[in-house]
Amino acid sequence: MLHLLNGDSTLETFRSSGIGKDDDVEVWREMLSEGPVSYDTAQEDFQKTRLAFFHKIGVSEEEYERLSGPGWKTLARFTRWEDVTLWFEYDVFCQINLIALLSRIHHTSRWNTAIFLVCTGDLPGYPRRMALGELDAALYPELYDSKIMVFEEDMAWADRAWRAFCSKDPRDLLPFTRSEDSPKLLPYLAEALMAHLRRFPQADTGLNDIEASLLSLAHQGFADKTALVSAAMAQDHIYKLGDGTYFRILEGIAPLLESFSPTRLSPQGLAVLEGRETFRPKNTENPTLGGAKKYAWVWKEGALVPQS
């Protein structure tokens, strides 16, 4: 039996839970919600693209292989196990990883391998959605007992959603943002994919939802960038981005701040925050969100349209 966990914080709790003492356990450490991706994750070009992205953000090939390599290798040979349980969460980070994994599994001859899913979010007795790493180890056996079998139609849906995520036209994802159409196995996917689409900028401000939130927080005046990013992460209950990602986003809107210690907006930043000016990054690359270029699309009057 194999347990494929969504992160190292889950691994620590899982080991304390008493589950799977004689089972194989692996951690999935890729972050497919960040950087360019393509539909066929089994292709060598896919791995080359991911390596190039991580190199650009300061992660060496050796470090990438150390962190992400075991997960990819386990995925390539998952049919050696009779049962595979995927442990994931409700947020954008996890949901995009999850549909990529289910897509890959969907295209693999599984023979007698049964796939199960544990996906946390809304849990009885908790005031908000909960991540696996936030839960007590004593709850893990109950979560495991309530795992859901993943059927072929579930994987086919996830496969189509992953293909749409990898499309150069982000509007291909819109049919997957209607929760009433999602399979019962994936109750959080529609919301997560819509949140992903909100990473494309608004036409009036030039900022996406994450950048706008960071700018608003910066206006409150934090001691430094680290304090600002910590505050942003504390209020982020849908994207679950790492601090490195937040620091990179902050670099992208640096012209809107005149000081980082303490944080203080520039006149342009204040104008953008108040909706009096549109931010247009200069001399910057056009990053990829899924398969689409970020600045090729904008939200205008409630619709995602090509940038004119």
116-161 pLDDT, tens per residue?
Answer: 999 999 999 999 999 999 999 999 999 999 999 999 999 999 999 9
Please check whether residue 254 lies inside any domain of the structure: yes
Domain housing 272: 209-306
Are the CB atoms for 86 and 149 separated by under 8 Å? no
Cα distance between residue 76 and residue 70, in whole Å: 10
Helix (H) or strand (E) holding 260: strand 257-260
Specify whether 23 is located in the same domain as 80: yes
Specify whether 11 is located in the same domain as 121: yes
Residue where a domain terminates, one of 168, 197, 226: 197
Specify whether 290 is located in the same domain as 152: no
Closest of 5, 153, 183, 29 to residue 84, by C-alpha:
5
Specify whether 54 is located in the same domain as 148: yes
Helix pair angle (92-106, 152-165), 10° resolution: 120
Please check whether residue 148 lies inside any domain of the structure: yes
Specify whether 136 is located in the same domain as 272: no
Specify whether 253 is located in the same domain as 297: yes
Are the CB atoms for 38 and 105 separated by under 8 Å? no
Specify whether 301 is located in the same domain as 166: no
Residue entry with tokens 């309530």: 146
Please check whether residue 129 lies inside any domain of the structure: yes
Residues whose CB falls within 8 Å of the CB of residue 39, separated by 6 or more in sequence, listed in order: 103, 162, 163, 166, 291
Specify whether 182 is located in the same domain as 261: no
CATH number for 124: 3.40.1360.10
Please check whether residue 202 lies inside any domain of the structure: no
Q: Is the peptide bond before 262 cis (omega within 30 degrees of 0)?
A: yes
Over residues 184-217, the pLDDT tens digits come to 999 999 999 999 999 999 999 999 999 999 999 9
Please check whether residue 71 lies inside any domain of the structure: yes
CATH number for 289: 1.10.10
Output the six-digit token pair for 188: 């959080």
Please check whether residue 80 lies inside any domain of the structure: yes
Specify whether 36 is located in the same domain as 92: yes
Please check whether residue 215 lies inside any domain of the structure: yes
Please check whether residue 203 lies inside any domain of the structure: no
Are the CB atoms for 72 and 30 separated by under 8 Å? yes
Number of domains in the chain: 2
Specify whether 293 is located in the same domain as 233: yes
Specify whether 180 is located in the same domain as 286: no
Specify whether 15 is located in the same domain as 134: yes
Q: What is the pLDDT along the chain (308 residues), one digit of tens a residue?
A: 999 999 999 999 999 999 988 899 999 999 999 999 999 999 999 999 999 999 999 999 999 999 999 999 999 999 999 999 999 999 999 999 999 999 999 998 777 899 999 999 999 999 999 999 999 999 999 999 999 999 999 999 999 999 999 999 999 999 999 988 899 999 999 999 999 999 999 999 999 999 999 999 999 999 999 999 999 999 999 999 999 999 999 999 999 999 999 999 999 999 999 999 999 887 677 999 999 999 999 999 999 999 98
Residue where a domain terminates, one of 148, 170, 197: 197
The alpha carbon of 187 is separated from its chain's Cα centroid by a whole number of angstroms, namely: 16
Cα distance between residue 291 and residue 47, in whole Å: 15
Residue where a domain terminates, one of 141, 164, 197: 197
